[in-house]
Each structure stands twice: as C-alpha cells, then as structure tokens.
Chain A
Amino acid sequence: MKVSVQREDFDAGAEIRALAQDPKVGAVASFVGVVREVPMTLEHYAGMTEREIGKIVEQAKSRWRVMDCTVIHRYGELKPTDQIVMVAVASAHRGDAFAACEFVMDYLKTRAPFWKKEQTAEGARWVEARASDDLAADRWTEKPGSRRLG
C-alpha cells in the first residue's frame, strides 16, 4: 500500500506497472484526476490527510479483495491539464479492482482534508463542496440492491 501527499507530479504509468509486478494480480484499475480549465491552489491538513486516506484504503481492503493500492494526491499550485490525484487498485479480477478504486476516490473527495482555491479571471475563490460528491460517497453505504447513481 502506498499513500503519498506531495507537491511533485507523478508518473501514472510507472505506478500502474509497479502494482502489476505480483503474478497473482490480474487487474489494475486506476483513476487520474486532472485540473480542468482553471488554475488552482490546493491546501491540505498535513498529517490528517495521510491518516484519512490510510483509513479509506483500509475500508476498501475490508470490503473487496484488494491485493495492493496506490493513492497519490498533490497539493500546491496546479494549472489546467496538471494531474491532481491518482488512485490505483490491484486485484485478482476486475470487479474488485473497479469497485475499490471508485470507492476510494468517492470517499477521498468527501473525507480527505484538501481544499481547492481557483484562480479565476474575477479573482481567487475557494471551491464549495458539492452535494453530488456526498451522494456519490453515500451510495456505498446504501443497502444491497438499492439504486446506484448513473
């Protein structure tokens, strides 16, 4: 398991290859978040961030057959097309890898203490939390058989 909160960019391909070294791994599902349109500064709560992400990864391991997992989240100044976040999950089969990857990402968005400040043409503004992110995270605690978001 690897959790890194860093200023520097990362090599998503190298991270995915690193997760596929174990011959028992049959699937690596990954997500990369990228800055869209507006430059931004990302602030975080050093210490708590790593702990929260670690807890999310542990929850994913308790729910799905996760063989390995990498989470990288950047902070500092980022510009459009820059990579912000990467989650990659290795498992024997794709079902567990896809589900765990999406779960980690949804929980990260609503629980890890990061804050985005966008540098718009009108000036800097803090991004407000979105209700849709809470809904995306909440669906993992709904009862089996209940509705999934489209």
Chain B
Amino acid sequence: MKVRLLFFAGLREQLGSAGEEIELPAGVTTLAGIREHLRSRGGNYEKVFSGKALVRMALNQEMAPPAAPVRPGDEVAFFPPVTGG
C-alpha cells in the first residue's frame, strides 16, 4: 500500500527530506512497522530511527501510538517532541 510520509524540524534536516510518497513492503501495516522499515534504509535513517532520539508519530494529523494500523493513502508524520508556545 501507498502512504504519505512527512518529516519535521530536526528530523527533516537530518534526513534531508520533508517527506515522500512510499509504497510499503508487504507486511508493513503499523506505524512501528513503517519506522522499522525506514530504519533499515541505513545511514541517516538508521541514526534517526534507531531509538536513541525521541521520535513522535502522527497518523492523519492525530498523535498515534506505534501499534496504530495504517491504511492506503494515510498521512504519517515523524517529528521530535514539540517545543512551541
């Protein structure tokens, strides 16, 4: 299935990408699965998604837990803890 990925703030800079459309491999059906898939790309993706730095996730613009299931066409965002206000 195809989903839309978005990266923000420090994550966006580390990855050198604000986002992408991605065709997920069969078997990748949750936010945690997408995260692991991205980590497996190696390089900066490995660094960002290896679990050392805090990464928050949102599914269709709502904060969501790692186990949240994804559906075709979903918008999946990864970002650091927020620092507004």
State the A residues within 8 Å of B (CB): 33, 42-45, 47-48, 51, 73, 84-85, 105, 108-117, 126-130, 133
Which residues on A sit within 8 Å (CB–CB) of B45? none
Which residues on B sit within 8 Å (CB–CB) of A114? 82-85
Q: Which of A108, A109, A112, A117 contacts B9 (CB 8 A)?
A: A117
Which residues on A sit within 8 Å (CB–CB) of B81? 128-129
Complex: chain A residue closest to B54, CB-CB: A129
Assuming the A-B contacts A45-B79, A111-B63, A115-B79, are A126 and B10 also in contact, with contact meaning beta carbons closer than 8 angstroms in the complex? yes
Interface centre among A73, A112, A126, by most chain B C-beta atoms within 10 angstroms, is A126
Assuming the A-B contacts A84-B85, A128-B83, are A113 and B10 also in contact, with contact meaning beta carbons closer than 8 angstroms in the complex? no
Expressed in whole angstroms, the minimum distance between the Cβ of A66 and any Cβ of chain B is 19
In the complex the two chains form, is B84's CB within 8 Å of A73's CB?
Answer: yes
Give chain B interface residues in 35-85, CB to chain A under 8 Å: 54, 58, 61-63, 77, 79-85
Which residues on B sit within 8 Å (CB–CB) of A45? 6, 8, 58, 61, 77, 79
Assuming the A-B contacts A45-B6, A126-B9, A129-B80, are A113 and B85 also in contact, with contact meaning beta carbons closer than 8 angstroms in the complex? no
Which residues on B sit within 8 Å (CB–CB) of A127? 83
Interface centre among B63, B79, B80, B81, by most chain A C-beta atoms within 10 angstroms, is B81
Which residues on A sit within 8 Å (CB–CB) of B6? 45
Expressed in whole angstroms, the minimum distance between the Cβ of B42 and any Cβ of chain A is 23
